[in-house]
């Protein structure tokens, strides 16, 4: 049986960088809603797993790295740069037309797994 928590206390002074955490918390209009949102996003991406698990941690760090550099900045090995560039240009031209149609039909819903009954307000 899982624990039914009502509250959870977080002692920030035991953290490695409590000032940084406090700065982030101070920037939130509603700390509870912000933390709840983060948990829901993590559940959607990784499921209900221990985030400190080595495999999950690797996947999270890779995901964050990919988001940071973006798809246009990813490095291609030098021997394949010219070939990859021409293939990419051909692929881009072919997909631009279909992307316009797909964008109209499909809504990019990164929040599809988040509880739509949850209320996140900004005060």
Let me know if residue 29 belongs to a domain: yes
Q: Residues with Cβ < 8 Å from 25, sequence gap 6 or more?
A: 31
Say how far apart CA 92 and CA 55 lie, in whole Å: 34
**pLDDT confidence of residue 104:** 47
Residue 62 domain-assigned (yes or no): yes
CA angle (27, 33, 39) in 5-degree steps: 105
**Per-residue pLDDT tens digits of the chain, which is 123 residues long:** 678 888 889 999 899 999 999 999 999 999 999 999 999 999 998 899 998 899 999 998 998 888 888 766 555 455 445 455 555 555 665 555 555 555 544 445 555 666 666 655 554
Domain contains 93: no
**CB-neighbour burial class of residue 26 (10 A; exposed 0-12, middle 13-18, buried 19+):** exposed
Q: Residue 93: what pLDDT?
A: 54
Domain that holds residue 68: 8-73
Is 108 among the domain residues?
Answer: no
The domain tally of the chain equals: 1
The pair of three-digit structure tokens given for residue 100, joined into one six-digit string:
């316009």
């Amino acid at each position: 049986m899982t624990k039914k928590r009502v509250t959870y206390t977080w002692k920030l002074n035991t953290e490695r960088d409590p000032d940084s955490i406090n700065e982030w918390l101070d920037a939130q209009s509603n700390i509870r809603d912000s933390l709840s949102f983060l948990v829901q996003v993590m559940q959607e991406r990784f499921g209900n797993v221990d985030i400190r698990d080595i495999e999950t941690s690797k996947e999270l760090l890779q995901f964050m790295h990919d988001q940071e550099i973006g798809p246009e900045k990813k490095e291609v090995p030098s021997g394949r740069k010219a070939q990859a560039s021409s293939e990419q240009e051909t692929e881009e031209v072919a997909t631009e037309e279909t992307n316009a149609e797909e964008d109209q039909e499909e809504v990019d819903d990164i929040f599809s797994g988040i509880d739509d009954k949850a209320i996140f307000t900004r005060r």
